[in-house]
Amino acid sequence: MGKRLKALFMGRKDEARTDKTVFSFMLAAGIVALGAAFVLTLEKFHLYENPDAVLSCSINIVLNCSTVMQSWQSHVFGFPNMIIGLMAYAVVVTVAVVGLTGAKLPRWFWIAANVGFMLGLIFSYWLFFNSVYAIQVLCPWCLLVTASTTVIFSTMLHYNLKHNVFEVSKHTNERVQRFLTAGYHQMIVLAWLALMVALVFIQFGDALFA
């Protein structure tokens, strides 16, 4: 009995440590994305005041925030996208802080967060692929936001899978837990980010450094 209790206690301790790591990464990514959205908002106001201004994130022909900001994709909903970022990433930071406290929140909260983060991820990558293949100009801050959003979604998904928030069957959950324990989830995220970097280099090549 003593060994079972010890194993149970250590299991919960390891689980709590894993959760703190997950939410720490989410918090860091949320802060980075929020900071990038804030800088982009300032740069947008600067561009409003002076359309010919050279922004701090306008490095060359390929890496040029000014060009991206003047495209229709930068204000899909009738106002600058970075305003959405300011609100959305503030929510992300809040969720991460709540997670770090170990608060026990209802299942619907974590599912809603997962859905919201997924929508943010889809929108972020829609902008990314438009930037790479339609506008053919990159915004360095936007790339940072895309990478951060990827981390944010993956950490939320990891937490929900770890705690079986989606309430899958016992057999499926056992397979999911083995998948997570083996570290395959992190490997997929890293591979995905590496693929995105590769796509950028394939598309622009040496022009990135011109």
- DSSP of 70-120: TSGGGGTTSS-HHHHHHHHHHHHHHHHHHHHHT----HHHHHHHHHHHHHH
pLDDT, averaged across the chain: 91
| Domain spans of the chain, in order of start | 2-209
* pLDDT one-digit tens code per residue, 7-46: 333 445 677 888 999 999 999 999 999 999 999 999 988 8
**Residue recorded with tokens 């204000």:** 75
CA–CA separation, 40 vs 56, rounded Å? 10
Region of poorest pLDDT, from 14-23, 105-114, 161-170, 181-190: 14-23
pLDDT at residue 105 in the model: 92
The closest alpha carbon to 91, from 170, 33, 47, belongs to: 33
Residue 1, SS3?
coil
Query: To the nearest whole percent, how much of the chain has pLDDT over 70?
Result: 94
Region of poorest pLDDT, from 44-53, 87-96, 195-204: 44-53
CATH homologous superfamily, domain 2-209: VKOR domain (1.20.1440.130)
Residue 169, SS3?
coil
| Plot region of 168 (φ>0 → left; ψ -120 to 50 → alpha; else → beta) | beta
180-183-184-188 Cα dihedral, nearest 10 degrees: 110
Identify the residue with better confidence: 50 or 163.
Answer: 163
The closest alpha carbon to 68, from 207, 77, 59, 192, belongs to: 59
Q: What number is the average pLDDT over the span 57-75? A: 90
pLDDT at residue 53 in the model: 73
Residue 64, SS3?
strand
Query: Which ranges of the chain would DSSP assign to H, the alpha helix?
Result: 2-49, 65-69, 81-101, 107-129, 140-162, 170-181, 184-204
pTM for the complete prediction? 0.90
Residue 210 CB contacts under 8 Å (≥ 6 apart), including other chains: 60, 61, 62
* pLDDT one-digit tens code per residue, 39-65: 999 998 888 888 777 788 888 999 998
Please give the span between the terminal C-alpha atoms of the chain, in angstroms, as a whole number. Answer: 68
pLDDT score of 191 more than 60: yes
pLDDT score of 147 more than 50: yes
Burial (CB count within 10 angstroms: exposed 0-12, middle 13-18, buried 19+), residue 198:
exposed
